[in-house]
C-alpha cells in the first residue's frame, strides 16, 4: 500500500510573517472599508458602517467587527446608557494598518 503524501510544515518564520498575517485580516471583503470609515469618515457605530459600506449585510458586518477586534485592529467601547451605545475605534495596530494601506494606494497611483 502506498503511503499518503504529507507536505512538510512551512518554516515558523513564514507562519509568523507580519505581511501575510496583515493580509489575512485586511484582505477580507469589507475590512478595508470599515477601516476607511473609522479613519477618514469618523464613523464609529454599527449602523453607520451598515449605511456607509455598500453591499454589506448586518451578519457580515458583525463578523468583520469581531474579527477585527480579535486581531487587535479595533477596540469596542460599550456605553451603559439607555439604549446601550457601542462605538468602535482603531487601536494603534489598526492605525498602523491604515497608514500601510494608504501608503500602498498612493504608491500604486503615482
Q: pLDDT tens digits for 31-48?
A: 999 999 999 899 999 999
CB 90 within 8 A of CB 98: yes
- With beta carbons less than 8 A apart as the criterion, state whether 79 and 85 touch: yes
Tell me: pLDDT of 10 over 60. no
Report the run of H or E that residue 104 belongs to, with start and end.
helix 92-108
- The domains of the chain are located at 17-108
pLDDT in tens, 52-72: 999 999 999 999 999 999 989
CB atoms within 10 A of CB 62: 12
The whole-model pTM stands at 0.76
The CATH number assigned to the domain with range 17-108 reads 1.10.10.10
Cell numbers describing residue 96: 498602523
Amino acid at each position: 500500500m502506498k503511503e499518503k503524501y504529507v507536505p512538510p510544515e512551512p518554516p515558523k518564520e513564514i507562519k509568523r510573517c507580519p505581511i501575510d498575517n496583515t493580509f489575512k485580516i485586511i484582505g477580507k471583503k469589507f475590512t478595508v472599508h470599515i477601516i476607511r470609515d473609522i479613519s477618514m469618515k469618523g464613523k464609529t457605530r454599527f449602523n453607520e458602517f451598515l449605511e456607509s459600506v455598500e453591499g454589506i449585510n448586518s451578519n457580515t458586518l458583525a463578523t468583520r467587527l469581531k474579527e477585527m477586534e480579535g486581531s487587535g485592529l479595533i477596540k469596542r467601547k460599550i456605553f451603559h446608557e439607555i439604549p446601550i451605545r457601542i462605538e468602535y475605534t482603531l487601536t494603534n495596530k489598526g492605525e498602523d494598518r491604515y497608514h500601510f494601506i494608504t501608503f500602498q494606494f498612493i504608491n500604486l497611483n503615482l
